[in-house]
């Protein structure tokens, strides 16, 4: 069995993929833009500073996904 592990952030993608996903949601008007962008930026700064509460971030980042059907999530993924 072969295993390949990729670090997407600043390697395959310019920037942070988690932060970019939040920007995608804002750009598509799928979340409250101003509030979500502010929180997304705040979590990203905490991450860069080494003080991210991963559990709080995951609650924030995953909550919007609960509003979509599987078909809608698949379309967003594409």
What pTM was computed for the model?
A: 0.78
The answer, yes or no, to whether residue 13 has pLDDT greater than 80, is: no
Is residue 42 one of the residues assigned to a domain?
Answer: yes
- CATH code (residue 27): 1.20.1440
pLDDT in tens, 32-72: 999 999 999 999 999 999 999 999 999 999 999 999 999 99
User: In whole angstroms, what is the distance from residue 43 CA to residue 61 CA?
Assistant: 10
Contact by Cβ (8 Å): 22, 40: yes
**Structural domain containing residue 59:** 17-77
Contact by Cβ (8 Å): 64, 30: yes
Cross-strand pairs, 9 = 13
Number of domains in the chain: 1
User: In whole angstroms, what is the distance from residue 53 CA to residue 50 CA?
Assistant: 9
Active-site positions?
A: 7, 9
Is residue 4 one of the residues assigned to a domain?
Answer: no
Is residue 69 one of the residues assigned to a domain?
Answer: yes
């Amino acid at each position: 069995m072969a295993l390949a592990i990729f670090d997407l952030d600043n390697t395959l993608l310019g920037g942070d993929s988690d932060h970019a996903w939040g920007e995608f949601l804002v750009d598509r008007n799928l979340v409250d833009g101003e509030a979500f962008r502010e929180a997304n930026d705040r979590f990203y700064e905490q991450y860069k500073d080494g003080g991210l509460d991963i559990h709080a971030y995951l609650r924030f980042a995953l909550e919007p996904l609960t509003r979509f059907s599987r078909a809608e999530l698949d379309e967003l993924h594409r």
